[in-house]
Structure 1
Amino acid sequence: MELRQLAYFVAVAEEQHFTRAAQRVKVAQPAVSQQIIRLERELGEQLLIRTPRGVLLTGAGMAFLPHARATLASAQSGRDALASLRGLLAGRLSVGTLVPAPQELPSLLGHYRRDHPGVELRLRDGHTTSLIAEVDEGTLDVAVIGLGVRQPVPDKVDSQVIRTEPAVIIVSRDHPLAASRSVPLAQLRDEPMVTLPPESGQRMALDAAARSAGFTPRIAAESSDLRILVDLAAEGVGIALVPRSAAPPSERLAIVQLSRPKLTRRLILIWQKDGLSPAARAFLPYARTALADPADSVEV
């Protein structure tokens, strides 16, 4: 069994397509197929099912995938450790972020890259639920997620709260609530709302708070893009619930505080509990410094 066979298998499993996997590992597609066939013969199990639309994992493939990932990660950690002995960080750093990403993230990554040019950076966005899962399984080294105050961070990852901010509602200027400074959540019972999808931390916090208030939010539209939610609110499609930092000043919009309860989003840095690479360990101080708000950052 060779590391390249494991790398090809993981690439095909994640891309669910031989051609895309070959492009990812930068070899010809027949070579990827040939090495996976050899791997399957050595293991005595079929790992993949080829279909006209792509590739599916067999039961054996699903069982083998986390072990293949762990072996590749262990080999990479060994390379990184040797590189760090030479005083040069190398390897790959995979960073996940919620959408929209913190505005400081590009400069943070730029600063880190200038200090450690030998590290290959990978950035992907997603929702809180998927980002936690990817950090836990090792697909991502670190991630920035958002959770409400009452939503615990799962024990399977290490974490630090780096910023907190209130959620507000945004309405069009001609909406009856536009003249209010603040409204209780229960007052939104019959209002159509435009929100993030259910897997986002903020949506989960909204749903939980609404249940406590005895109602289910009326969802008129969902989007992962906060800017689209703001635009939909301006068009009168519904009330948008967004973090305060995502509420831009506009003549078309009114920003209203939410009360009873206040919904507060925590911006949280999470990372793997075990086996963190030297590149990822070096990244944590950069992230804590660049992303934290000194006025309200709290450690957990």
Structure 2
Amino acid sequence: MRVLVTGATGFIGRRLVPSLVADGHEVLAMTRRPDTYEGEGTAVFGDVHDAASLSPALEGVESAYYLVHSLGSEDFVRRDAQAARAFGEAAAAAGVRRIVYLGGLGDDSDDLSPHLRSRREVEGLLAEGGVPVTTLRAGIVVGHGGISWEMTRQLVEHLPAMVTPRWVSTRTQPIAVDDVIRYLVGVLSLPEGTDRAYEIGGPDVLAYAAMMRRLADIEGRHPVILPVPLLSPGLSALWLALVTDVDTRTGRSLVGSMVNEVVVRDDAIREVVPFEPLAYDEAVRRALAERAREQEDGGSS
């Protein structure tokens, strides 16, 4: 199958492309800088914020993965909405038969954060052009380089004691990045008419504080975690920017989402793409091992 992957150089995309190639697909890796692309597949120019660039990138494509967002932008809600609408329309015009989108968990009945509401909006806008959309909704993805995961790791490693916001008691259902990739590849071969939103997560439902404590145990650390109810989202974002390399704007969007419980309520995905997801501790060990290998190879810290 001829498949386009947007965000091919990102945290998910750079893992998905080689998996699709290994599965026998013809993969087009969409990037704004194809001349410098060094991954697998065939690099093609495209920018979701440049509607004119999408038609050439989508030519002959049967299925497309939409893995981009503008979380670091001040007006990310507007930018992501415009990009999703343009991509959905261009995909329909090109005859694409399926769009696969990685969105976010969270109950629609909850007072969702702007970040999670935007993810829901993107689901609908991608489908407006008429192309069926298969959405995988995930919480924290545990893997080296993922923003939420790196924030968790850096907090544990940089602070012997943490005065934390109340969101550390919110429950989430982390999932290993390897399992996200397995689901993304798996839904590509689902029969027509099965396109819908699927919720994905690992086997462990944990509060953020428990996630940090279990990571600390694996690394042999013993941080003190002291929740403070009055630490506002704005102050929380500043606090994150001081002790991690997550910028304040992105941190504020992520913190805003951490007040929402993000757990799997519908496990239908386990029937259509059956396998046993990795436990949280194993996902952590794999993420730490990948980071260690990158450091040994002279990569970033």
Normalization by structure 2: what TM-score? Answer: 0.26
Structure with higher RCO (Cα < 8 A, 6+ apart): 1
**Greater share of strand residues, 1 or 2?**
1
> Greater Rg, structure 1 or structure 2?
1
Give the structure-1-normalised TM-score: 0.26
